[in-house]
């Protein structure tokens, strides 16, 4: 279950905030991309989404995430990835994907990891585009400098309310809203010093819509619209909290407070979000995605994808070095034992890929990530 927030719609994020089309830096931070020996994979599928979970630890107590509690799924004694393990993975990935491929670094709180900027620098130097997820608490002036100097392409902050009260309540940490705003100021100050434009180092926000904050989402959009430095506010909908479960009825039982109970409010809020988006607000979610969110809240038991699942093209490195396509299936190997290229091209991976394509799980992973337009919410017979 460390996985719940790992597979955060990487491709959508890249497209939505324009990473895929971004121009080269006017003042290059990354060095030139070295020539990489590209390996021909005998199998047809190449990776399209990559997430690296750098750690599990966090010091916030978010309402929708329990990473601050001892990990339920990873024993304390489990060996965590070293700098070299992650570099090995990144290098292997680069041998099968082209420059500009996006790597998303996620946690826990990613900035607790001491080698975070070394890893970003390494990926950037190999020609990857990079995004970092963070709660913003640790971004002092010094950290802001290191972050921008690492060549990071974008930062994705969690922002769950339009006011300090709402955000701090959702994140379970007093002062977190003010620290986040301060983090943004620190980043912008250094960007100005280095003459780095807003489209070259992108500051974006992401909110998790729950029953506790749904009413505040239109105001949150207005807050971001008026903020000079936050490029966009992307929405995710609440899933079973990290480090809990699994319980398919979590939204009716253990965590029902996180689930919007009133359909009228769901409709009113999503109508307003859609209206704001159409009027030009900084909401990158596409309309079909917003409608899928609305439908998910109205009918969570029917969220079944009708077409084949595209997690067969996703690769996720866990904080213990296991490589997964989808976390509901076995891993395809551990980076300490096998290279990424071998694991990706193995029979085991191929077998899992076939199962993924056939998978009929009523899967909430898909609502926030890798969702495609054709059938955002198909009413198919539920198998699991
Ligand atoms: S959502 Fe992020 S900030 Fe909140 S507890 Fe989980 S890892 Fe920490
Ligand atoms: S639909 Fe199946 S394969 Fe796809 S993400 Fe969900 S559990 Fe994984």
pLDDT of residue 45: 83
Cα(230)–Cα(226) distance, integer angstroms: 9
pLDDT tens, residue by residue, 280-295: 999 999 898 898 899 8
User: Going by CA atoms, what residue is nearest to atom 4 of ligand 2?
Assistant: 309
Cα dihedral: 145, 150, 155, 157 (round 10): -60
Residue 341: alpha-carbon gap to chain centroid: 23
Cα(109)–Cα(209) distance, integer angstroms: 20
User: Going by CA atoms, what residue is nearest to atom 6 of ligand 2?
Assistant: 363
Q: Residue 193: how many CB atoms within 10 A of its CB?
A: 10
* Range in 83-87, 94-98, 202-206, 286-290 with the lowest mean pLDDT: 286-290
Q: Give the residues across from 195 on adjacent strands.
A: none
pTM: 0.87
Indicate which ligand has the atom closest to the C-alpha of 157.
1
In total, the chain counts a number of residues equal to 384
Distance 178 CA to ligand 2 centre (A): 37
Atom nearest to 305 CA in ligand 2 = 1
Residue of 361, 362, 372 to mutate, ligand 2, most atoms within 8 A of C-beta: 361
Distance 353 CA to ligand 2 centre (A): 10
**DSSP-assigned letters across all residues of 154-188:** EEEEE---SSHHHHHHHHT-TTHHHHHHHHHHHHH
Q: Which residue has the higher pLDDT, 81 or 383?
A: 81
CB distance 108 to ligand 1 below 6 Å? yes
Mean pLDDT of all residues in 222-240: 96
pLDDT tens, residue by residue, 8-45: 444 444 444 444 443 333 333 334 555 566 655 555 68
């Amino acid at each position: 279950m460390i996985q719940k927030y790992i597979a955060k719609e990487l491709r959508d994020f890249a497209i939505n905030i324009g990473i895929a089309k971004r121009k080269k830096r006017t003042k290059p931070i990354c060095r030139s991309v070295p020539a990489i020996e590209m390996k021909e994979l005998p199998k047809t599928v190449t990776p399209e989404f990559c997430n690296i979970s750098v750690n599990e630890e966090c010091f916030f107590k978010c309402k929708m995430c329990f990473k601050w509690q001892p990990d339920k799924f990873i024993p304390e004694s489990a060996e965590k990835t070293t700098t070299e393990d992650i570099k090995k993975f990144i290098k292997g990935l680069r041998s099968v994907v082209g420059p500009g491929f996006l790597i998303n670094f996620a946690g826990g709180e990613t900035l607790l990891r001491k080698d975070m900027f070394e890893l970003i620098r390494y990926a950037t130097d190999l020609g990857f585009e990079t995004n970092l997820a963070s709660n913003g608490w640790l971004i002092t002036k010094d950290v802001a400098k290191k972050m921008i100097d690492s060549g990071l392409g974008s930062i994705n902050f969690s922002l769950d309310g339009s006011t300090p009260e709402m955000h701090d309540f959702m994140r379970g940490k007093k002062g977190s809203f003010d620290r986040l705003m301060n983090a943004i100021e620190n980043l912008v100050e250094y960007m100005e010093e280095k003459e780095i434009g807003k489209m070259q180092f992108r500051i974006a926000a992401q909110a998790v819509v729950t029953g506790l904050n749904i009413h505040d989402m239109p105001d949150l959009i207005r807050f971001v619209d008026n903020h000079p430095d936050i490029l966009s506010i992307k929405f995710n909908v609440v899933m079973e909290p990290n480090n809990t479960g699994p319980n398919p009825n979590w939204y009716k039982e253990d965590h029902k407070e996180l689930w919007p109970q009133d359909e009228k409010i769901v409709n009113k809020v999503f109508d307003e979000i859609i209206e704001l988006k159409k009027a030009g607000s900084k909401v990158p979610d596409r309309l079909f995605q917003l409608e899928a969110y609305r439908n998910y809240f109205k009918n969570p038991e029917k969220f079944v994808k009708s077409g084949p699942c595209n997690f067969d093209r996703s690769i996720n490195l866990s904080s213990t070095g296991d490589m997964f396509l989808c976390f509901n299936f076995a891993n395809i190997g551990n980076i300490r034992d096998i290279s990424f290229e071998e694991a990706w091209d193995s029979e085991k991976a191929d077998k899992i890929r076939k199962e993924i394509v056939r998978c009929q799980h009523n899967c909430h992973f898909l609502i926030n990530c890798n969702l495609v337009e054709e059938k955002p919410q198909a009413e198919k017979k539920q198998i699991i």
